[in-house]
């Protein structure tokens, strides 16, 4: 339990964090990697370059301050972050290093405003929050290892097949090198790959959603090639997978993780909405729902640039033909002359109003602007928050306008 004086001091820093939170986290990461370069083997370098990780940490620190007197309010977020920490193999010994570096960054940015009393209060609060993370992650590590086919740390997998799904998305089928069983997973979860491409100084870790229903002797991931674009460098791992990984290539993998999963206990109509490569967890959920809940009404809506960019189209069409409970729709931003789709342009409120029931359970995934648009439409249609679930690829952001 935190002392009331500590809670009071932390609460008083909320306005400061609103103003200086981003600067504090930028300096935090700079200091962290200067003093502990070995941690570059854990952090996603692309998210660092784009500022996503810094923003996510600033939001997390701010949320901790706001809820410091009721930390149970942020437990769902803690569990979600802990899933990623477990997948990345974050360990208890990392927390003191992070805590001290965060305090040093606060001191550097705030100067005299970061009094000894405030820094002491944050040190006490960080210790309590770190203990929560460590305990949650301890349970998750134990569960991942104890599960049938589970394991600790990273395990060597071999690419069995490599299948081109569209002009930008390729699927990889991974089987364990040791030939032993693999852990099952919940539809919507991801695995974490660890590779060190030639020319890279550090190992690179990336989360990839599993893009098939559980129950197979392999893990299937479907990866979009992220080429360089204006203001954004090419994706190190996605381009390596597309250009260099072939059947027989060995990749290290941590056990499945993630809290964005299909609620199989609900019998409400199910609506799955994806944009681009956001279809990966949606297809896993779709296949699972059709297999396990044959009486449940399911609607699947996918948006792509055009047919060349549309992955797994034939697979979804086959599922729709086989399952009377399933309706599927395709929206193309810029369809080519010979392409047929259900709507050109974008998914909008009118389309969702005509093709979905607001009392459905909605799951969606894709680029952040896409998800923000879907979220706004669902709110306009009166869909309640408990029925809305979504997943960010990378650090969590906000869909609130």
Query: How would DSSP label each residue in 323-351?
Result: -TTEEEEEEESS--TT---SEES---HHH
Question: For residue 388, what are the β-bridge partners?
Answer: 362
Q: Which residues are catalytic?
A: 95, 137
Residue 281 known to bind ligand: yes
Structural domains in the chain, CATH included, are: 4-146 (1.10.490.10), 154-257 (2.40.30.10), 270-391 (3.40.50.80)
The DSSP secondary structure of 259-285, one letter per residue, reads: S----TT--S-EEEEEEGGGHHHHHHH
Q: How far apart are CA 312 and CA 329, in angstroms?
A: 13
Q: How far apart are CA 114 and CA 110, in angstroms?
A: 5
Q: How far apart are CA 382 and CA 376, in angstroms?
A: 10
**CA separation (Å) from 2 to 10, 96, 304, 316, 365?**
11, 18, 50, 52, 38
Q: How far apart are CA 301 and CA 99, in angstroms?
A: 43
The closest of 329, 386, 347 to 363, measured between CA atoms, is 386
All residue ranges of the chain with pLDDT < 50 are 401
- Cα dihedral 31, 33, 39, 45, rounded to 10, equals 120
Q: At what angle do helices 14-35 and 94-110 cross, to 10 degrees?
A: 120
Residue 330 known to bind ligand: no
For the CA atoms of the chain, what is the radius of gyration? 22
The answer to whether 362 and 389 are in contact (CB under 8 A) is yes
Residue 101 known to bind ligand: no
Residue 258 known to bind ligand: no
Say what the pLDDT of residue 81 is: 87
**SS3 label, residue 227:** coil
Phi-psi region of 188 (alpha: psi -120 to 50; beta: other; left: phi over 0): left
The closest of 126, 105, 100, 99 to 28, measured between CA atoms, is 105
**SS3 label, residue 172:** strand
Residue 37 known to bind ligand: no
Residue 307 known to bind ligand: no
A 10 A CB-CB count for 354 gives: 9
Q: How far apart are CA 336 and CA 315, in angstroms?
A: 21
Residue 392 known to bind ligand: yes
Residue 20 known to bind ligand: no
């Amino acid at each position: 339990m935190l002392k009331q004086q500590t809670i009071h001091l932390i609460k008083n820093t909320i306005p400061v964090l609103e103003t200086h939170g981003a600067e504090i986290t930028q300096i935090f990461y700079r200091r962290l990697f200067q003093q502990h370069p070995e941690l570059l083997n854990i952090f996603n370098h692309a998210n660092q370059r784009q500022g996503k990780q810094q923003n996510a940490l600033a939001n997390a620190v701010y949320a901790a301050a706001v809820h410091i007197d009721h930390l149970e309010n942020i437990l769902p977020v803690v569990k979600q972050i802990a899933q990623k920490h477990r997948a990345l193999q974050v360990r208890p010994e990392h927390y003191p290093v992070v805590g001290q570096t965060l305090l040093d960054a606060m001191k550097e940015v705030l100067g005299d405003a970061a009094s000894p009393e405030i820094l002491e209060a944050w040190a006490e609060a960080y210790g309590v929050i770190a203990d929560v993370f460590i305990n949650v992650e301890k349970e998750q590590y134990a569960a991942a290892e104890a599960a049938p086919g589970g394991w600790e740390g990273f395990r060597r997998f071999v690419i069995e097949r490599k299948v081109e799904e569209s002009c930008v998305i390729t699927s990889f089928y991974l089987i364990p090198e040791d030939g032993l069983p693999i852990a099952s997973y919940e539809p919507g979860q991801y695995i974490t790959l660890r590779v060190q491409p030639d020319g890279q100084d550090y190992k690179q870790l990336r989360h990839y959603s599993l893009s098939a229903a559980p129950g197979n002797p392999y893990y299937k991931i479907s990866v979009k090639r992220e080429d360089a674009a204006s203001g954004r460098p090419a994706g190190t791992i996605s381009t390596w997978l597309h250009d260099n990984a072939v059947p027989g290539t060995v990749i290290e993998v941590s056990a499945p993780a993630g809290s964005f999963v299909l609620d199989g206990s609900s019998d409400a109509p199910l609506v799955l909405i994806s944009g681009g490569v956001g279809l990966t967890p949606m297809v896993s959920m779709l296949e699972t729902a059709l297999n396990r809940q044959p009486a449940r009404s399911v609607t699947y809506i996918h948006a792509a640039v055009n047919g060349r960019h549309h992955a797994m189209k034939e697979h979804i069409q086959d599922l729709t033909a086989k399952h009377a409970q399933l309706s599927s729709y395709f929206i193309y931003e810029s369809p080519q002359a010979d392409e047929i789709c259900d709507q050109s342009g974008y998914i909008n409120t009118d389309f969702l109003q005509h093709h979905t029931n607001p009392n459905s359970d909605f799951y969606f995934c894709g680029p952040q602007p896409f998800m923000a648009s879907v979220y706004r439409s669902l709110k306009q249609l009166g869909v309640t928050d408990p029925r809305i679930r979504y997943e960010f690829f990378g650090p969590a952001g906000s869909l609130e306008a």
